[in-house]
């Protein structure tokens, strides 16, 4: 073939290739583009299902059915009419981004303090507004839904499999720590004075572990940490735990190098932990460190001793404290008359005030200062008469005395419970009589279920092959039933500060930003309605109370009705969301679920606000008044 023919052939082939590509572009590319766009959309919906399962189901249910928050799997949000779809997507975007002030719905967008970025919010909006996919994809009630909700339910199932609820409670080590066991014994075994037990020991030093049932002759341990002390090593070597185990003939094994302590059954096999409800004797040197919420009665009851036995050993420490009074667990010292404090550095008034149980502005005002100023250093700061100082962790009695311009002797005279000026702790440590029946504390199935959503004790027990009355060892791991909603919902309320324009009502926002034309909310009205309502029905949908007064439906969450004493009002839950029926601040029905009805007879006159503990925006007012006939007379006059 000559060169000219080759050139003609090459040119011809080139035209054929270019023409083919052009034809492909004209015919096939638009089809592929539409297909790719649809694929990306449904990929976004699936990602929304995963995000929902990870972040939203604890409040809204595994498949958007609603729980303590409204149902999100709604057919009206799946309306694909362009106008409706755009409105729904805009509303959902703002709600997800900003949350809802006054409720537990937080702002989710990261720029408003949330955990999700713009693309992730978009995925969730696509999930909530995705169209139905036919009979193949149904919700928990068998109704058609989008495949995104089916994905969300599948992801929820997988997440439940990863959660491992367990029985929590006492361990031998936690009991030893609470009763200050082991430090003294380890110190004695190594000739370390008690006032040096918190001092760091040299790395590589060999210390003696006291004898126990596993090692009757004791054993040696070489320090491998850089900041170990007798105090910290007591727990790492389980000295207190072995003391309790030996006293109660409990089998165990200790791995000192791996810092692991295992309880053993009668066959020498490891078990997860202690059995709640059983009783243990404690070594005679046991004391108890008070924690916030303890009372003398609760401390005594768990140890099967009396409050008077404890009081007899701690008279000065417990002076003025009632048996049933809750303690805060902090050590407070009485100060001399006309007390002052002298600081080494300038500090915020709030910081200083906290040491005395005061407010920063209160202390600043007492010293003729502004709260925005700092409390000055090296000059006396006046404290209120009767102020008590809360001992801090590193305090010494000498340092406390110098700081308050007094002496150690005067502090000891004012606080007779101090018997050693070199041993003043920031905690309240009580001496105990001999304890022979300490009751082991541990969860039951209901306690564990309370940490998770949409599951109760009997359901949790059944899912794991037990009955509700079975007692399991501390540390026993359980599985969640498939219908659980993961961990229990958070209870933090959205203040609206992160995204205030969209998280509060228009009128409230206008007042916040100082709009002089802001309209004040006129609900509830200053006066009750003029006419009485004979038949009142209050219906709940998602997050509203709607009053039906003698057949007339009032504006949701703005219902006001006047009734006579003795009138019975009917509540109906016609939506998928769980509510409470709370009347005048009293919760009359704490579990007002879908399909439920509730009746309440108003016998006493007065003003009653109708609310829901789960949804603060649900509101309404019922006025109960005697009928003097003036309303009827007015109607007759109007008719004439």
Task: Say yes or no: 7 and 150 in one domain.
Answer: yes
What was the pLDDT predicted at 30? 55
Pair 484, 161: CB distance under 8 Å: no
Task: Say yes or no: 501 and 559 in one domain.
Answer: no
Task: Say yes or no: 153 and 223 in one domain.
Answer: no
Closest CA to 426 of 312, 493, 333: 333
Specify the pairing of strand 388-390 against strand 260-264. Answer: unpaired
Q: Is residue 324 part of a domain?
A: no
Instruction: Name the domain boundary from 274, 293, 309.
Output: 274
Distance CA(164)–CA(162), nearest Å, equals 6
Task: Say yes or no: 258 and 381 in one domain.
Answer: no
Distance CA(287)–CA(317), nearest Å, equals 13
Distance CA(277)–CA(177), nearest Å, equals 19
State the first-to-last Cα distance of the chain, in angstroms, to the nearest integer: 116
Pair 503, 512: CB distance under 8 Å: no
pTM recorded for the entire structure: 0.70
Tell me the two tokens of residue 147. 């495949």
What was the pLDDT predicted at 526? 79
Give 627's Cβ-side CA count (13 Å radius). 15
What was the pLDDT predicted at 640? 41
Among 116-125, 143-152, 615-624, which range has the highest average pLDDT? 116-125
Answer whether residue 635 shows pLDDT above 50. no
- Average pLDDT estimate for 490-518: 58
pLDDT digits (tens, 9 = 90+) for 401-430: 999 999 999 999 999 888 888 878 889 999
Please count the helices (runs of H) and the strands (runs of E) in the chain.
21, 25
* Percent of the chain residues past pLDDT 90, beyond the cut: 67
Q: Quote the number of domains for the chain.
A: 4
Answer whether residue 454 shows pLDDT above 50. yes
- Domain membership of residue 567 as a residue range: 536-639
What was the pLDDT predicted at 520? 46
pLDDT digits (tens, 9 = 90+) for 381-395: 999 999 999 999 889
- Average pLDDT estimate for 136-146: 79
Answer whether residue 25 shows pLDDT above 70. no
Specify the pairing of strand 270-271 against strand 260-264. Answer: antiparallel
- Average pLDDT estimate for 310-321: 92
Distance CA(36)–CA(14), nearest Å, equals 30
What was the pLDDT predicted at 527? 86
Distance CA(103)–CA(491), nearest Å, equals 9
Task: Say yes or no: 144 and 40 in one domain.
Answer: yes
Distance CA(176)–CA(186), nearest Å, equals 13
pLDDT digits (tens, 9 = 90+) for 189-220: 999 999 899 899 999 999 999 999 999 999 99
With a CB cutoff of 8 Å and minimum separation 6, the contacts of 450 are 488
pLDDT digits (tens, 9 = 90+) for 85-94: 998 999 899 8
Distance CA(223)–CA(217), nearest Å, equals 19
Task: Say yes or no: 72 and 116 in one domain.
Answer: yes
147-162 and 29-55 are packed helices; what angle lies between their axes, rounded to 10 degrees? 40
What was the pLDDT predicted at 612? 87
Instruction: Name the domain boundary from 229, 252, 274.
Output: 274
With a CB cutoff of 8 Å and minimum separation 6, the contacts of 64 are 52, 71, 72, 73, 74, 128, 139, 149, 152
Among 90-94, 307-311, 556-560, which range has the highest average pLDDT? 307-311
Q: Which of 59-68, 71-80, 94-103 has the lowest mean pLDDT?
A: 94-103
Closest CA to 253 of 216, 282, 215, 280: 215
Q: Is residue 304 part of a domain?
A: no
Task: Say yes or no: 494 and 420 in one domain.
Answer: no
Residue 149 is inside which H or E element, if any? helix 147-162
Answer whether residue 26 shows pLDDT above 90. no
The chain-wide mean pLDDT, for the chain, equals 88
Pair 442, 168: CB distance under 8 Å: yes
Task: Say yes or no: 10 and 152 in one domain.
Answer: yes
Instruction: Name the domain boundary from 399, 426, 453.
Output: 426
Answer whether residue 593 shows pLDDT above 90. no
Q: Is residue 451 part of a domain?
A: no
What was the pLDDT predicted at 634? 41
């Amino acid at each position: 073939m000559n060169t000219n023919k080759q050139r003609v052939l090459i040119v011809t082939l080139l035209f054929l290739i270019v023409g083919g590509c052009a034809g492909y572009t004209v015919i096939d590319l638009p089809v592929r583009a539409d297909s790719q766009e649809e694929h990306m959309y449904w990929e976004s919906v699936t990602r929304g299902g995963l995000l929902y399962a990870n972040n939203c189901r604890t409040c809204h249910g595994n498949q958007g059915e609603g729980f303590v928050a409204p149902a999100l799997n709604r057919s009206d949000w799946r309306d694909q009419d362009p106008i409706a779809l755009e409105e729904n997507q805009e509303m959902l975007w703002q709600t997800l981004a900003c949350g809802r002030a006054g409720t537990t719905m937080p702002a989710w967008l990261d720029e408003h303090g949330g955990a999700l970025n713009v693309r992730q919010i978009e995925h969730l909006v696509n999930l909530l507004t995705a169209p139905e996919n036919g009979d193949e994809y149904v919700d928990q009630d068998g109704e058609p839904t989008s495949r995104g909700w089916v994905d969300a339910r599948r992801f929820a199932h997988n997440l439940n499999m990863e959660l491992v609820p367990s029985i929590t409670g006492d361990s031998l080590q936690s009991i030893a720590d609470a009763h200050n066991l082991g430090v003294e014994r380890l110190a004695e075994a190594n000739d370390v004075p008690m006032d040096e037990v918190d001092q760091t020991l040299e790395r590589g030093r060999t210390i003696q572990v006291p004898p126990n049932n596993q090692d009757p002759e004791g054993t040696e341990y070489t320090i491998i940490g850089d900041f170990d002390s007798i105090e910290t090593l007591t727990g790492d070597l389980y000295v207190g735990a072995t003391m309790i185990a030996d006293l109660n003939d409990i089998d165990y094994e200790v791995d000192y190098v791996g810092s692991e302590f295992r309880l053993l059954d009668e066959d020498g096999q490891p078990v997860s932990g202690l059995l709640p409800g059983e009783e243990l004797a404690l070594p005679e040197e046991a004391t108890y460190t008070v924690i916030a919420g303890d009372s003398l009665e609760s401390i005594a009851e768990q140890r099967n001793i009396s409050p008077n036995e404890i009081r007899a050993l701690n008279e000065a420490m417990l002076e003025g404290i009632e048996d049933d009074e809750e303690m805060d667990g902090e050590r407070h010292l009485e100060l001399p008359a006309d007390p002052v404090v002298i600081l080494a550095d300038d500090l915020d008034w709030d910081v200083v005030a906290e040491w005395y149980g005061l407010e920063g502005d209160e202390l600043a005002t007492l010293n003729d200062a502004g709260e925005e100023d700092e409390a000055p250093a090296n000059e006396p700061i006046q404290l209120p008469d009767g102020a008590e100082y809360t001992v801090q962790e590193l305090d010494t009695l000498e340092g406390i005395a110098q700081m308050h311009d007094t002496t150690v002797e005067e502090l000891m005279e004012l606080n007779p419970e101090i018997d050693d000026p070199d041993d003043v702790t920031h905690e309240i440590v009580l001496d105990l009589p001999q304890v022979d029946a300490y009751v082991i504390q541990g969860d039951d199935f209901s306690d564990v279920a309370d940490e998770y959503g949409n599951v109760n004790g009997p359901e949790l027990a059944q899912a794991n092959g037990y009955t509700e009355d079975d007692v399991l060892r501390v540390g026993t791991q359980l599985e969640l039933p498939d219908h659980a909603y993961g961990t229990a919902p958070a209870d933090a309320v959205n203040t609206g500060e992160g995204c205030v324009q969209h998280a509060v009502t228009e009128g409230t926002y206008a007042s916040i930003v100082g709009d002089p034309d802001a309209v004040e909310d006129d609900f509830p009205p200053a006066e009750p309605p003029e006419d009485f309502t004979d038949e009142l029905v209050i219906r709940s949908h998602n997050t509203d109370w709607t009053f039906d007064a003698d057949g007339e439906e009032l504006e949701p969450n703005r219902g006001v009705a006047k009734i006579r004493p003795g009138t019975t009002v009917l509540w109906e839950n016609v939506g998928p969301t769980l509510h409470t029926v709370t009347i005048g601040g009293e919760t009359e029905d704490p579990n007002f679920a879908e399909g439920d009805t509730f009746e309440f007879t108003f016998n006493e006159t007065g003003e009653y606000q109708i609310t829901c503990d789960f949804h603060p925006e649900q509101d309404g007012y019922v006025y109960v008044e005697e009928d003097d006939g003036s309303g009827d007379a007015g109607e007759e006059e109007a008719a004439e």
